[in-house]
A and B are shown apart, each in its own frame.
Chain A
């Protein structure tokens, strides 16, 4: 992990290279996090990967988080790893909820980090975050005809009716 000073250095250098890229940082429980602008995620991850002295080349995990009721509501986390120094840094892209049925959008990184392919699909599947230019953005774990974004905080737990033979006629869309 970069220490708190190192994290602020990364923030300053990154903001010099890409203005307004880093919105905020925090360093807690020994873990470092950069809170960044979602639209610039490709430049940011590319900078962290290619800049000498940083070289966070390994993208360990991509996952979505719903911070409801905070604003901006969504976060997409990229857990980066420098294998030589065994240092991790988390990059959190912030996204607002556009409201109504519109979905939040951000650029994909799956062409340069192939590991993000399935994981971005998982984020799309559960949170309805659209990754622009993703080659194959479909649901991955939920059924393809599923409606709704099940891991959003306002999606009810148990919102799925349990279908028994005596109730299947009452479930909309199930019994034709």
Chain B
């Protein structure tokens, strides 16, 4: 049980709450309240272990000025970027201990996928991390393609890269807007969402949906980009770097922003690696680790781009890394558009890929394949594979266990937000509670991905 010790009211004046009697905790694990102070259970969350949260107000005779206060930040708080609850132990304004509590938007997607045929599981996995749906699709489709040992055509690879890099821009724009909003820069939110909307317009043009597009298929992509898409995308990539300049002009010389981010939330690089942190957080600490570069999947080996890295790994470096990543993404999109190969957009394997629509009227074979694929789905030979890609937040890995049927026996996503969240405690300990908001913003968690 979480206990809040009521001392001389250091911080929040919650001493005389009328419901206090109702909240009193009977299950005190045998220890009396220290110095007869009132001990109140604020939450039903069970916290075990030897952290300070556990000990608050129970065992130690703390000096009044050392009084600890345990509060919940969230689950409904705009600065937690979703339904995340942070159990924070405060000494004055200093964060002494912190535990993230999650699971509020757990929807059992991994379990639901076990009841869907492979092609029907794609819309499920998209909805995990709702800001990087193309990446979720690529992780899943790539994993199934690994199991099938299916090679996808070059044009499909390029189209996937274009959409994933646009998705990275989209994700980083949402991050930039909401993070700046957390730090008090209101107008950034509107500028970022204006450009994000242009990206969504392009998704709508090429895939028919603004979000959760189900554009990637096992074997390639659903259909070719429409006429006019290329022109629109070129206009966007020509303009977007100047937009990034505008964002930077608003923030990089902003004294408030600098003071809130510089030197805050530093975690040593080795500690980050031990915690399994990947993505911009690790790169900001100076580790040039990007799966697009070190282990190029799809067509990333064809493109010339750089990996921005930071030096010390504070909030400022994390901000700079992501800003620079947006510029690199634009470079990749430009090169992919220029070098877009001609040819089919989906593999020509009738046992896995739906036949073209026009063949159904004339070919009995095509009709049979279409019927079997839609009703039952394709079968995947038994085996298991882990397929990691670089999502906007780090290593997004998909594990699929196939048992030979048309449905996956197990789908697991190693979501970068879920793993990265573990370093929040290291970032925040000993800092102010206002810095915790900044740290969480620069961590960029997406709760849909954490809870799945």
Interface residues in chain A, defined as those with a beta carbon under 8 Å from any beta carbon in chain B: 28-31, 33, 57-61, 63, 65-67, 77, 79, 83, 86, 88, 90, 113-115, 117-119, 122, 126, 135-136, 138-144, 150-151, 153, 155, 157
Task: List CB contacts (< 8 Å) of B355-410 with chain A.
Answer: 383-386, 388, 395, 397, 399, 401, 409-410
Given the interface pairs A29-B385, A150-B111, the reply to whether A66 lies near B410 with Cβ below 8 Å is: yes
25 contacts between A and B (CB under 8 A): A29-B146, A30-B146, A31-B146, A33-B384, A60-B276, A60-B388, A61-B399, A65-B401, A65-B412, A79-B386, A79-B399, A115-B275, A117-B422, A135-B50, A136-B48, A138-B46, A138-B48, A139-B103, A141-B102, A144-B45, A144-B46, A155-B111, A157-B111, A157-B114, A157-B115
In the assembled complex, the Cα of A83 lies from the Cα of B385 at a distance in Å of 19
Our pick among A88, A117, A126, A144 for the contact of B386 (Cβ within 8 Å) is A88
Most B-side CB within 10 Å, residue of A59, A126, A141, A144 = A141
Q: Is the CB of B385 within 8 A of A58?
A: no
Most A-side CB within 10 Å, residue of B146, B149, B412 = B412
In the assembled complex, the Cα of A66 lies from the Cα of B411 at a distance in Å of 11
Given the interface pairs A77-B399, A150-B111, the reply to whether A118 lies near B418 with Cβ below 8 Å is: yes
Q: Is the CB of A90 within 8 A of B419?
A: no
Minimum CB–CB distance from A80 to chain B (whole Å) comes to 11
In the assembled complex, the Cα of A90 lies from the Cα of B383 at a distance in Å of 13
Task: List CB contacts (< 8 Å) of B1-49 with chain A.
Answer: 44-46, 48-49
Top 6 A-B pairs, shortest CB-CB distance? A115-B276, A61-B414, A141-B103, A141-B106, A63-B412, A157-B115
In the assembled complex, the Cα of A117 lies from the Cα of B49 at a distance in Å of 13
Q: Is the CB of A119 within 8 A of B103?
A: no
In the assembled complex, the Cα of A7 lies from the Cα of B114 at a distance in Å of 31
CB-nearest residue of chain A to B398: A61
In the assembled complex, the Cα of A112 lies from the Cα of B431 at a distance in Å of 26
Q: Is the CB of A115 within 8 A of B274?
A: yes
In the complex, which residues of chain A have a beta carbon less than 8 angstroms from the beta carbon of B422?
114-115, 117-118
In the assembled complex, the Cα of A8 lies from the Cα of B118 at a distance in Å of 33
In the assembled complex, the Cα of A58 lies from the Cα of B147 at a distance in Å of 24
Q: Is the CB of A31 within 8 A of B49?
A: no
Contact with A along B402-446 (1 / 0, CB 8 A): 000000011010100011011000000000000000000000000
In the assembled complex, the Cα of A57 lies from the Cα of B422 at a distance in Å of 18
In the assembled complex, the Cα of A118 lies from the Cα of B141 at a distance in Å of 26
> What 9 new A-B contacts, CB under 8 Å, besides A90-B386, A114-B276?
A28-B383, A58-B273, A60-B414, A61-B419, A63-B414, A65-B384, A114-B275, A122-B418, A153-B409
Interface residues in chain B, defined as those with a beta carbon under 8 Å from any beta carbon in chain A: 44-46, 48-50, 102-103, 106, 108, 110-112, 114-115, 146-147, 149, 273-277, 289, 294-295, 383-386, 388, 395, 397, 399, 401, 409-410, 412, 414, 418-419, 421-422, 451-452
CB-nearest residue of chain B to A137: B48
Q: Is the CB of A141 within 8 A of B451?
A: yes
In the complex, which residues of chain B have a beta carbon less than 8 angstroms from the beta carbon of A143?
103
Minimum CB–CB distance from A130 to chain B (whole Å) comes to 14
In the assembled complex, the Cα of A144 lies from the Cα of B103 at a distance in Å of 10
In the complex, which residues of chain B have a beta carbon less than 8 angstroms from the beta carbon of A141?
102-103, 106, 451-452
Our pick among B274, B397, B451 for the contact of A79 (Cβ within 8 Å) is B397
Q: Is the CB of B273 within 8 A of A57?
A: yes
CB-nearest residue of chain A to B44: A144
Q: Is the CB of A113 within 8 A of B102?
A: no
Q: Is the CB of A31 within 8 A of B273?
A: no
In the complex, which residues of chain A have a beta carbon less than 8 angstroms from the beta carbon of B45?
144
Minimum CB–CB distance from A104 to chain B (whole Å) comes to 16
Minimum CB–CB distance from B84 to chain A (whole Å) comes to 12
Q: Is the CB of A151 within 8 A of B273?
A: no
CB-nearest residue of chain B to A68: B409
Given the interface pairs A157-B114, A157-B115, the reply to whether A29 lies near B383 with Cβ below 8 Å is: yes
In the assembled complex, the Cα of A90 lies from the Cα of B451 at a distance in Å of 24
Most A-side CB within 10 Å, residue of B44, B384, B399 = B384
Q: Is the CB of B111 within 8 A of A118?
A: no
CB-nearest residue of chain A to B54: A136
In the complex, which residues of chain A have a beta carbon less than 8 angstroms from the beta carbon of B111?
150-151, 155, 157
Minimum CB–CB distance from A10 to chain B (whole Å) comes to 18
In the complex, which residues of chain A have a beta carbon less than 8 angstroms from the beta carbon of B103?
139-143
Minimum CB–CB distance from A136 to chain B (whole Å) comes to 5
Given the interface pairs A114-B274, A115-B275, the reply to whether A61 lies near B386 with Cβ below 8 Å is: yes
In the assembled complex, the Cα of A94 lies from the Cα of B151 at a distance in Å of 32
In the complex, which residues of chain B have a beta carbon less than 8 angstroms from the beta carbon of A155?
111
Q: Is the CB of A63 within 8 A of B399?
A: yes
In the complex, which residues of chain B have a beta carbon less than 8 angstroms from the beta carbon of A28?
383
In the assembled complex, the Cα of A138 lies from the Cα of B100 at a distance in Å of 13
Given the interface pairs A60-B276, A136-B49, A153-B409, the reply to whether A79 lies near B414 with Cβ below 8 Å is: yes
Minimum CB–CB distance from B91 to chain A (whole Å) comes to 22
In the complex, which residues of chain B have a beta carbon less than 8 angstroms from the beta carbon of A115?
274-277, 419, 422
Q: Is the CB of B102 within 8 A of A65?
A: no
Q: Is the CB of B114 within 8 A of A61?
A: no
In the assembled complex, the Cα of A141 lies from the Cα of B421 at a distance in Å of 14
CB-nearest residue of chain B to A119: B419
In the assembled complex, the Cα of A77 lies from the Cα of B147 at a distance in Å of 17
In the complex, which residues of chain B have a beta carbon less than 8 angstroms from the beta carbon of A77?
386, 399
Q: Is the CB of B397 within 8 A of A60?
A: yes
